[in-house]
Each structure stands twice: as C-alpha cells, then as structure tokens.
A and B are shown apart, each in its own frame.
Chain A
C-alpha cells in the first residue's frame, strides 16, 4: 500500500509540474490579451490568430530564410507586433468609439480570414518545427523526466510576465499608459500622445501572442487552427483573473494550468471544460474576477 501511495504521489508531482508548465504558457498568452482587453477595452478575437501567425512565421523564416529559433524569438514578435499596429491603426481605430461588439466582430472576422488563408495555403494537417539543438534532451527528476524545452518555457514565461508586469505597474511609461486609458482627455491635455500609446500597447499585446507562438512551435503541431483552439480558454482565464488586472492574468494562467493538469489526471474527460466551470463559479461569487476591481 505504501509503495502504491508513493507511486501515486510521484505521479501527482509529475502532473503538478506539467500543469505548471502549461500554466506558464497560459500566463504568457493571457497576459497579451489582458493588456488589450483590460487596458484598451478592445475584445481582440484575433489574438489566437496572431499566436498561430507567430508559429507560422517562425517556421517559414527557418525554412526560407534560415532564421533560427533564437533570432525568431526576437524577430517574430516584432513582425507580429507590426501587423498588430497596422491592424489597430487602420481597422480598429476607425470604430474605436462604437460599441465593443464592433471590435469583437471585426477581430473575429479577421481571425477567420487569416485562419482560412493559412488552411488554404498550408493545409490543415499541421507542420513540424524542430526543438532547437541547445534545448534538446531532458533531465531525469525523481518523479518524472523533464524535457529541457519545457523547463525553458517556465523560465522564459516567468521572466517575460514579470518584466511586463513591472513595466506596466512600476515605470513611468506604464503610468502614462494606465492614465491614458483611464482618462484620455486629461492626458492629452498634458501633451501626451494618447492614440500613439494605444497603438503601441495594442502592438505589444499582439507581439506577446506572436512570442507565445514561437515558444509553442517546437512542442505543438504548427497548424492553422492552433490559435482558435486555445483562444476561448485564454479568454476564460482573463475573465477569471479579473479584467484589467495584469498580475491577475499571470497568476490565474499559472493556476488554471495546474487545475487543468490535475483534471487530466483524475478525470481526463472534463479537462477541456474545467476552466469554464471555474469561470462560472468565479463569476457567480465575484463578478469582477479574482483580482479585478469591483466597479
């Protein structure tokens, strides 16, 4: 019985760690969404498509231009961010003063178009992107085998998430941004170019999705529907964390990864619904989300 218990405990540790890895992925994705959704009040349904775009650009850059993973980590978010900036400037800004529903429909339509074009061009079966040589292999832990690339995901996500949180909450630039979205007229009167800040913030949020796409390429099949599969889950995480709360999105992302991981162990059939169940409970008990400010 003791051995059996030990084995179960070991298995549980493994599941917790795997959950944490997935959680750091969710944190990275929900962070970008939380910035756009929480600060700019734009419901960006194209965020999943941007994540997919990030993975595809990394793959194509490697195939046709020989740009390796490490350069892609920098170049791809910049490219995707630029696409985001163009999208905000020419598509979203003209309808910025309309109801939120307009931006939702616009970005949803965009996501469908992008996904459709990629399905047409590359097929639906997905393509594969190799794990970079330096991160191949893994470490044997007492309770599981930890691939180096997964460890790398945790480190990078934590660094990027903490850095972004620090930038928005603790720096002058972040203060401008928060003030600019809170009271644009006043900030404009102080001589701050608010539209520019909005555009750049949108670009940054989208760039984070592109970055997550590059991080995902070596471990998941790079396929046109990879973004739409994950988008709704990430939206749920942002809602659970509380709209507008950057820290909330990060912590909830990690937490939901663990919750999902444990569900996959105890009752796998429910693993793709458990996050929504948590969302319903949170919305019933605390409508503003776990870390959101009550209106």
Chain B
C-alpha cells in the first residue's frame, strides 16, 4: 500500500516537473508585446526604483507610440518586496501564464539574479536596470540578460581609481554585509591594489544598521587616507552622518561608492559637499537630459535617479528592436538589440555587447556644497565624463553570446 502511494506520488511529481519544463521551454512568440516591471514599491529602494520605474517604462511606451507589430503594447507591474523568492514566483507567473515577453526594472542584485534564472529557462529577456552586481555578465551570464545603467566595476573604476592615482593610497572599507556590498568591496579593492594602493582593513556592517559610530571609530583608528562606504541607501546616509559627527570627515576622505540622487539629497550638504562619486546619469547634464527629466518630474514628483532613466532607455531600445526585427521572438530581438547602438538622452556613446553588458559613458560627479546649490534638485557638479571602455571591464569569452 505504502509503496503504491509513493509511486503515485513520484508519478505526480515527475509529471508536474515535466509539465513545468514543457511550459517553461517556450517564450510567448505571439506578436503581442507585453512588458513586466518588477520594482521595490515600499521598501528601502522605493525611491530609486519603485513607482518611478513603472512611470519611466510607461513614458517609454507612450513615446514609442503605444503599439508595435500592429498591436497595443501591454504592461504589468508588481512589487518584488526585495525578496528573491517573491520575485521569481511573480516572474514565473508572468512568463508562463500571462504572456510577458520581458521583465525590467529590477532593483537589488538578489532579485535580479532570481528573475534572470526564470527568464533564461523560458527564453525571456531580462532588462536589468537597477542592480549593481557584475555577475549578470560574468559568472551568471546567459544569452537573455541585458544589464543597463551601471555595475560595481564601473563604480569602482569611476570613483576609486582617480582617488588612488591622486595619492590617496591607504583605504578602509565599511561594507554592507551581503552579496552586493562584498562584490563592491572586492572590485574596489582590486582597483586599489592594481593602482599601487593598499587596503588597511574593513568592517562588515549588517544591512540596515542605524548606528555607525562603532565602525567610524574603527575607521578612524585605521590611519587610512580614505574611508570607502561600500553600501547603499540609508546605510550610506547614516554612515556619512556618523562620520561627520565624530570628526572623521576632517581627518580623512569619505568615498560613497554607490550614491543615488535621492540619497544625495538626504545628506547634509555641509558634510556631503565635495564628495565625489560615479553615476550613470545626472538629470541636469544638458538640454536633452533636462527635457526628459522635467517630464518625468511632473509625473513622479521627484527628479529621476539613474535607474529611472535607465529603465526608459532600455525599454525604448527593446521596443525599437522588436519593431526592426518584426517579431517578439526573444532570440531575434536580442540579436537586433546587440546589433543596433542604443542612443538617447541616457545612452551616450553606447553599445550593447554580446555578453549583455550595455557600455556607455559614465559621469564622475561631485556633490555640491550648500552655497553652490540653486535649489533642492541642484546636487551634482560633473567633473568629467568617463568613457564606457574605461569604466567597464572587458567581456569574458565564455559570455560572448553573439
């Protein structure tokens, strides 16, 4: 009896697995383009890619004309809650039951990793705009990943390299204790060592730490020239606040390795003023960026972060490719996307490499001091434009999906 039960069970299970495999082996090539936007609607990253990411995608669809391949473009959106399991469940439902062709937005590297796996199985395209890890085009690369906006390599090259070359040789890290923080610290340490600097020490602070004073004291005692903050969001803001309070900013430089515009706005200009960082986009760069950003601000109520602009740019590039290819077949669309150069207010001197990495000009900016600011949105001064090939690392041969 028991044996029969087990065999029935195993039949059901294997049947179910087989069914999923059949289902997931095909993307919806039905001529109906449907986008899914996964964002953080109410968590720590809601300001950098929450409802703003949905608005950016909507704007891209509207500006494109609202329809492609003779049918109106559809869009769905959902809250990833920054949880990989939630994100992959939503992604699976979208691509398997609802005919979603591509999933974009995607903030938090853990979430993007989960979605990218689901999409790779079903041959759906993943348009990553919000995540920092470089694994999507290295150790976890697949033919359907598109990584827009930025990554940890660009941040480390952009921010760390000029400081080491300017003689700031000794570094200390305050790192967010999860995959993103580790990746960023690792990449930055590599750049420091390659340029003749040294890393004196690090502390791994849990994500969501409120009080950084202990870590600031340790950084102060290290004798470093620069204290690098390999974290993001409120962690960066709180760490910088404590650094100023304990007088660290007067003895050492503080380098925020990943700062988004809303975070820069949340920092006290008296302490953040003069800090230099790398960004994929700044709203006030030229007329083109200002024009788009004004429209975005009217709908969203705040200036766009680089992720918002990235979502618009990648969505537009995807839709253009669908139109040119005349199909929503993922393989053909990916090929077209990689063959055409992305070009808009965001993507400058850009190419989408065969590994899925979008290489474009990055900006090395300085946070303005209080007296330099005209209003609350006037936060960065552009120091220089970093050419894409200097910011990003070369493609790995095993990720060449041309």
By a beta-carbon cutoff of 8 Å, the part of chain A in contact with chain B is 7, 10-11, 14-15, 18-19, 21-22, 116, 119, 123-128, 130-131, 138, 144-145, 147, 149-150, 219-221, 223, 225-226, 229-230, 261, 264-265, 268-269, 271-272
- Interface-central residue, B43, B234, B263, by most chain A CB under 10 Å: B234
B21 within 8 A of A: no
Which residues of chain A are within 8 angstroms of B234 by Cβ–Cβ distance? 124-126, 221, 223, 225
Q: Is the CB of A123 within 8 A of B208?
A: no
Q: List 24 A-B contacts (CB under 8 A).
A: A7-B221, A14-B221, A15-B217, A18-B214, A22-B211, A116-B42, A123-B47, A124-B44, A124-B46, A125-B263, A126-B266, A128-B268, A131-B245, A221-B234, A221-B241, A221-B266, A225-B44, A226-B210, A229-B208, A264-B215, A268-B215, A269-B206, A271-B205, A271-B209
Q: Is the CB of A144 within 8 A of B241?
A: no
Q: Is the CB of A11 within 8 A of B217?
A: yes
Rounded to whole angstroms, the CA-CA distance of A52 and B208 in the bound complex is 15
CB-contacts of B315-338 with A (<8 A)? none
Given contacts A125-B233, A130-B268, contact A269 B177 (CB under 8 A): yes
Question: Closest Cβ of chain B: how far from A58's Cβ, in Å?
Answer: 16
Q: Is the CB of A125 within 8 A of B214?
A: no
CB-contacts of B25-74 with A (<8 A)? 42-48, 50
Closest-by-CB residue of A relative to B261 is A125
Q: Is the CB of B44 within 8 A of A123?
A: no
Given contacts A130-B268, A145-B247, contact A123 B241 (CB under 8 A): no
B213 within 8 A of A: yes
Q: Is the CB of B215 within 8 A of A220?
A: no
Which residues of chain B are within 8 angstroms of A272 by Cβ–Cβ distance? 206, 208-209
Given contacts A125-B47, A125-B234, A221-B234, contact A18 B263 (CB under 8 A): no
Q: Residue B211 contacts which of A130, A131, A220, A265 (CB distance < 8 angstroms)?
A: A220
Question: Closest Cβ of chain A: how far from B78's Cβ, in Å?
Answer: 17
Which residues of chain B are within 8 angstroms of A219 by Cβ–Cβ distance? 211, 241-242, 245
Question: With A124-B47, A268-B215 given, can you name 13 additional A-B contacts, CB distance below 8 Å?
Answer: A18-B217, A22-B213, A123-B262, A123-B302, A125-B234, A125-B237, A125-B260, A126-B266, A220-B211, A223-B234, A229-B208, A264-B215, A272-B208
By a beta-carbon cutoff of 8 Å, the part of chain B in contact with chain A is 42-48, 50, 177, 203-206, 208-211, 213-215, 217-218, 220-221, 233-234, 237-238, 241-242, 245-247, 260, 262-263, 265-268, 302
Question: Closest Cβ of chain A: how far from B250's Cβ, in Å?
Answer: 9
What 4 pairs across the A-B complex have the smallest Cβ distances?
Answer: A264-B214, A125-B262, A124-B46, A272-B206
Which residues of chain B are within 8 angstroms of A14 by Cβ–Cβ distance? 217, 221
Closest-by-CB residue of A relative to B248 is A145
- Interface-central residue, B42, B213, B247, B260, by most chain A CB under 10 Å: B213
Rounded to whole angstroms, the CA-CA distance of A261 and B215 in the bound complex is 10
Q: Is the CB of A265 within 8 A of B214?
A: yes
- Interface-central residue, A116, A149, A220, A230, by most chain B CB under 10 Å: A220
Closest-by-CB residue of B relative to A11 is B221
Which residues of chain A are within 8 angstroms of B215 by Cβ–Cβ distance? 264, 268
Which residues of chain B are within 8 angstroms of A138 by Cβ–Cβ distance? 245-247
Closest-by-CB residue of B relative to A123 is B47
Which residues of chain B are within 8 angstroms of A269 by Cβ–Cβ distance? 177, 204, 206
Q: Is the CB of B238 within 8 A of A221?
A: yes
